[in-house]
Structure 1
């Protein structure tokens, strides 16, 4: 699995999400509202002022709405967020030659000690790889580069699609089952030519880090977004949750849907986000490690809600790799809140897991303001 890289200039950068309250729902009968389960009454936010911040990062943008305790300045919050994002880039961005992951990818064969942040995220990715039978795979860097979605940039228009021989050669350097970790030494084996790529979970991981940092600063109510991956904690001064609109596929018959992100994260993987077209076929950036090629299973988008932004990010991509049949079955079996949109001969068709459906609010109730 590989999802949106830390690209500086992709062919179609993922759309960003403008944080704030959705347009009020004029007619609840034509809209859907998702409300995650809550235990008790949410605590009051630490203040009454909402700070709105943002900036560039990871080839996209970040945004945040933050409610901190009295005396917490916008400058301090901006600096803290940027520090966390810089730390993630310094470790995990294959677009930065000096990053830890770039240094590992360029290292000769051998066993190499890694930092604790590197180890923790790679270990989590490997656990998800085991859980999803490789639908999450942090070893696909060679394939990401081969298909033009990595640091080397897009392939030549003269040779837009790799040959079978090129794919097979990259597959020999890929595969989560080939990666060996030495837990006692906190070290990773470089087989020689293997290129790690954790872009499919790094944005979600960054969202979690920023959220945790804000909470540690006393800003226990906030909404954080990086390139479309979101996480909300706490509520606003008016006791309303952080409302976000779920990204819709163009032409989808599904109604407009907003979700209350109360201690909840949301991630969407879509074939329209980064892709190229050749001979009438769309080649999305999400890669299937079992074939070495972009997924081609008619799933247009997958949205996952989860307490962890990193896991929401990973599962959204993993379910995309699994496809429109195995994906929903797997998501239902493990209790994920997931929504699928499939391209069919009848047009776009949506499907949702029971956990996702259970979050739907009664349309007879008053909507968010």
Structure 2
């Protein structure tokens, strides 16, 4: 059994833990008794994230997802729990977004030189793209009870746009099981907070903005995270330029092409980080107008940062505005 630390949040001390995972960093701020065994807690958090990497990292040749992607056609594979959970979550969002988010986007990511691909970034030939498109599509994913997944041949899953958020959720569940009453968890910019700080204030975070670019009349956007997650996606992190044209790393699985005029950033607030992470990607793929309309219609708390002629501009759904701290 793990040691108990179930005192109310306001009765504890703030502890901060840090580490590395998924090619980025993680941090946890938590409220617990002063004599908490932070070494055991740190090891437990790292183990949660290591499990996500071992099951779903396309950068690791021996991960469960890499082995599935390389498997022979017609073979069935029993997936470990985390992989199964994320795959089902990804199919749910693929269906709801009409394919704007798609877990089978792996071949496209490689063709454009992004992700774990060792190829150079560049525009692939039309013939190559056409052949790849025949291998992409979330409806090709066949699953059965017992966590069984079929490799129909050439199917390459890429869960990078959802697994990091799921890792945040895994850490949150671990901390709750450890009876930590209050924590703020961050993995590579994706966050989840629950409980309150020692001063009885909620965890508050500043919504990401684009470095070196400021929105018109920019006002810091602060969100209180009480059992809520926040994730940000956009084209400002990875892109390349060819013949004077900018190509985003955000690919539209439906066309096989980078999203044109992609938002600089899309931030989503949700009940868990897995959904926030994936919906931020889906709305980015939809684009500013369609994505904003979809988010409003489906009651998604989303903020779009858009490049204008001279500066960035922002659009927030009504649900996002409701979440802003006073």
State the TM-score, normalized to the length of structure 1.
0.82
8 Å CA contact 2:27, 2:186 repeated in 1: yes
Are 1:239 and 2:206 an aligned pair? no
8 Å CA contact 1:44, 1:237 repeated in 2: no
Q: Distance in 1 between matches of 2:63 and 2:203?
A: 34
Deviation of residue 129 (structure 1)?
0.7
Q: Distance in 1 between matches of 2:247 and 2:298?
A: 29
Q: How many residues align?
A: 316
Q: Which moved more, 1:44-53 or 1:78-87?
A: 44-53
Q: Distance in 1 between matches of 2:319 and 2:33?
A: 34
Find the counterpart in structure 2 of residue 227 from structure 1.
188
Runs of at least 5 residues in structure 2 that lack an aligned partner in the other structure? 1-6
Q: Secondary structure of the residue that 2:267 maps to in structure 1?
A: strand
Find the counterpart in structure 1 of residue 116 from structure 2.
151
Find the counterpart in structure 1 of residue 226 from structure 2.
262
Considering only aligned residues, what root-mean-square deviation do their CA atoms show, in Å? 1.7
Find the counterpart in structure 1 of residue 32 from structure 2.
68
Find the counterpart in structure 2 of residue 252 from structure 1.
215
Q: Secondary structure of the residue that 1:213 maps to in structure 2?
A: helix
Cα 1:69/1:154, change in 2 over 3 Å: farther
1:329-348 per-position Cα deviation (integer Å, ceiling 9, x unaligned): 11111111111112233642
Find the counterpart in structure 2 of residue 178 from structure 1.
140
8 Å CA contact 2:305, 2:314 repeated in 1: yes
Where does 1:202-217 land on structure 2 (aligned, <5 Å)? 202-217=163-178
Which protein, 1 or 2, shows the higher relative CO under an 8 Å CA cutoff with sep ≥ 6? Answer: 1
Deviation of residue 280 (structure 1)?
2.5
Q: Secondary structure of the residue that 2:254 maps to in structure 1?
A: coil
Find the counterpart in structure 2 of residue 51 from structure 1.
15
Are 1:218 and 2:182 an aligned pair? no
Where does 1:1-369 land on structure 2 (aligned, <5 Å)? 44-45=8-9, 47-69=11-33, 71-110=35-74, 111-155=76-120, 160-182=122-144, 184-249=145-210, 250-253=213-216, 254-345=218-309, 347-362=311-326
1:156-184 per-position Cα deviation (integer Å, ceiling 9, x unaligned): 6xxx22111121122111110122112x2
Q: Distance in 1 between matches of 2:24 and 2:127?
A: 33
Find the counterpart in structure 1 of residue 4 from structure 2.
none
Cα 1:332/1:77, change in 2 over 3 Å: same
Q: Secondary structure of the residue that 1:256 maps to in structure 2?
A: coil
Deviation of residue 46 (structure 1)?
6.5
State the TM-score, normalized to the length of structure 2.
0.92
Deviation of residue 226 (structure 1)?
0.7
Runs of at least 5 residues in structure 1 that lack an aligned partner in the other structure? 1-42, 363-369
